[in-house]
């Protein structure tokens, strides 16, 4: 019963191990960015010598990628791509590490207990290729979050937040671009356009600031990098993507969200002429939060406690994509991915994932 109750540490404590890990991922991300810029400048100099496929590669039938994966392709010079992506994620039970925590034991430490959270994202994406070697990408997310919670074990209430998230600006360049395989490098910046000041009103009519997870932005400029390999052999497509997010500084509310590393490994095949199927393993690691927001009472609920963020999540995602080539006067594809968790180890008590769905529509001209 008392096994889950942890000794409260000062939130300003920073573990030596975390610092070391942070330094390592920071240097990996900086190295990748430097390599990306080096490749771009080298390619700019040797531009005429290089010939690549004059096809918008995201609808290539040879190289398959999961529908929810981003930054895995580039376009040829002068092409535009417009995309819409929807993501829905349901979270319910509460984990501490990998074990389930029951509500009655949580009530000893917190006034309110989250019961269910549903997060939705609508994301508009635009890609434009300045040259065959440089593609620019902007992603504009709109977030809607809803959380049900109980107070004193019986009263149930709901809180909601919505608004613009953090806008992402990314530069993509192909390191290798062949018929049957490609390697794409991304370097980008996440601009803190989302909010860290979302508030709600309680039963007494008083305004209060909602927890970290209900905010729509990180509040910090974040560096993003990714390296994606996608290849094919016969009817089989496969690939892997490694990406990272480094948060810079501390936001106006006095904290910095944890840095992230994400890895995807997938395999796919064409099941019919224009339909492809993929299966991928998506693993996300997020560092713990640093600092805390003075306006959020830590004992109010786990989502207002900075120690209840970060951890490791692995999901299996199954996807379908359909090539719209003959249905539209332009190139395009439509796809969806459904994911369920296979392993979660969370800094808790924290809400765990139940399922996630992603759908996307991509049109290129």
Piece of the chain touching Cu ion by CB under 5 A; list 52-60, 103-111, 168-176, 209-217? 52-60
Question: CB 174 → Cu ion: shortest distance, Å?
Answer: 12
Residue with smallest beta-carbon separation from Cu ion: 81
Nearer to Cu ion, 127 or 298 (CB): 127
Piece of the chain touching Cu ion by CB under 5 A; list 56-64, 144-152, 180-188, 329-337? 56-64
Name which position in 127, 198, 226, 296 contacts Cu ion (CB under 5 A): 127
The answer to whether residue 198 forms part of the interface with Cu ion (CB under 5 A) is no
The answer to whether residue 224 forms part of the interface with Cu ion (CB under 5 A) is no
d(CA 194, CA 121): 13
> Exposed (0-12), middle (13-18) or buried (19+): which is 120, by Cβ within 10 Å?
middle
Question: CB 324 → Cu ion: shortest distance, Å?
Answer: 14
Question: CB 58 → Cu ion: shortest distance, Å?
Answer: 5
Piece of the chain touching Cu ion by CB under 5 A; list 36-44, 55-63, 207-215, 349-357? 55-63
Piece of the chain touching Cu ion by CB under 5 A; list 124-132, 167-175, 223-231, 351-359? 124-132
The answer to whether residue 81 forms part of the interface with Cu ion (CB under 5 A) is yes
At 73, list the tokens: 């392709």
Question: CB 140 → Cu ion: shortest distance, Å?
Answer: 15
Question: CB 271 → Cu ion: shortest distance, Å?
Answer: 23
Question: CB 77 → Cu ion: shortest distance, Å?
Answer: 13
Report how far apart, in Å, the C-alpha atoms of 271 and of each of 61, 80, 181, 276, 320 are.
11, 28, 20, 5, 9
E strand map for the chain: 80-97, 99-100, 112-129, 135-151, 155-164, 167-177, 181-191, 199-201, 207-209, 222-233, 236-247, 255-256, 260-270, 275-286, 290-291, 311-323, 331-364
109: left (phi over 0), alpha (psi -120 to 50) or beta: alpha
Nearer to Cu ion, 61 or 93 (CB): 61
Residue written as token pair 């005429």:
48
Residues 6+ apart with CB under 8 A from 268: 64, 65, 66, 236, 237, 238, 276, 277, 278, 279, 319
Mask of contacts with Cu ion, 320-349, x by CB under 5 A? ------------------------------
d(CA 76, CA 89): 34
Nearer to Cu ion, 33 or 364 (CB): 364
Q: How many CB atoms lie within 10 A of CB 207?
A: 8
Piece of the chain touching Cu ion by CB under 5 A; list 20-28, 73-81, 145-153, 223-231? 73-81
Nearer to Cu ion, 290 or 362 (CB): 362
The DSSP-derived string for 306-321 is: GGG--EEEEEEEEEEE
φ/ψ (deg, to 5) at 193: -85, -15
Question: CB 224 → Cu ion: shortest distance, Å?
Answer: 17
Question: CB 75 → Cu ion: shortest distance, Å?
Answer: 5
Pairing of strands 275-286, 260-270: antiparallel
Piece of the chain touching Cu ion by CB under 5 A; list 121-129, 148-156, 163-171, 176-184? 121-129
In eight-state DSSP terms, residue 326 is: T
Binding site for Cu ion (CB under 5 A): 58, 81, 127
């Amino acid at each position: 019963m008392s096994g889950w109750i942890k000794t409260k540490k000062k939130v300003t404590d920073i573990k030596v191990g975390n610092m070391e890990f942070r330094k390592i991922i920071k240097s990996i991300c900086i190295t990748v960015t430097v390599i990306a810029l080096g490749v771009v400048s080298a390619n700019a100099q040797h531009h005429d010598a290089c010939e690549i496929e004059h096809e918008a590669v995201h609808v290539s039938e040879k190289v398959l990628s999961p529908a929810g994966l981003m930054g895995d392709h580039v376009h040829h010079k002068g092409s535009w791509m417009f995309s819409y992506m929807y993501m829905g994620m349901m979270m319910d039970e509460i984990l501490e590490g990998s074990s389930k925590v029951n509500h009655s034991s949580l009530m000893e430490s917190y006034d309110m207990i989250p019961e269910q959270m549903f997060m939705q994202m609508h994301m508009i994406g635009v890609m434009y290729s300045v040259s065959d070697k440089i593609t620019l990408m902007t992603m504009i997310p709109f977030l809607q979050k809803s959380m049900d919670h109980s107070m004193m074990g019986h009263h149930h209430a709901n809180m909601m937040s919505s608004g613009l998230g953090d806008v992402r600006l990314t530069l993509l360049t192909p390191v290798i671009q062949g018929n049957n395989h490609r390697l794409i490098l991304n370097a980008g910046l996440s601009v803190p356009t989302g909010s860290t000041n979302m508030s709600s009103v309680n039963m007494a009519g008083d305004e209060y600031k909602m927890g970290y997870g209900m905010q729509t932005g990180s509040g910090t400029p974040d560096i993003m990098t990714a390296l994606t390999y996608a290849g094919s052999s016969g009817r089989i497509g496969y690939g892997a993507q490694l990406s990272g997010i480094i948060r810079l500084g501390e936001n106006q509310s006095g904290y910095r969200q944890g840095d992230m590393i994400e890895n995807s490994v997938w395999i796919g095949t064409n099941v019919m002429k224009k339909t492809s199927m993929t299966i991928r393993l998506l693993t996300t690691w997020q560092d713990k939060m640093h600092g805390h927001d003075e306006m959020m009472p830590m004992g109010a609920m786990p989502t207002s406690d900075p120690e209840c963020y970060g951890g490791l999540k692995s999901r299996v995602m199954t996807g379908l994509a359909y090539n719209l080539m003959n249905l539209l006067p332009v190139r395009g594809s439509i796809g969806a991915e459904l994911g369920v968790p296979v392993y979660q180890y969370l800094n808790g008590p924290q809400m765990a994932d139940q399922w996630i769905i992603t759908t996307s529509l991509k049109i290129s001209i």
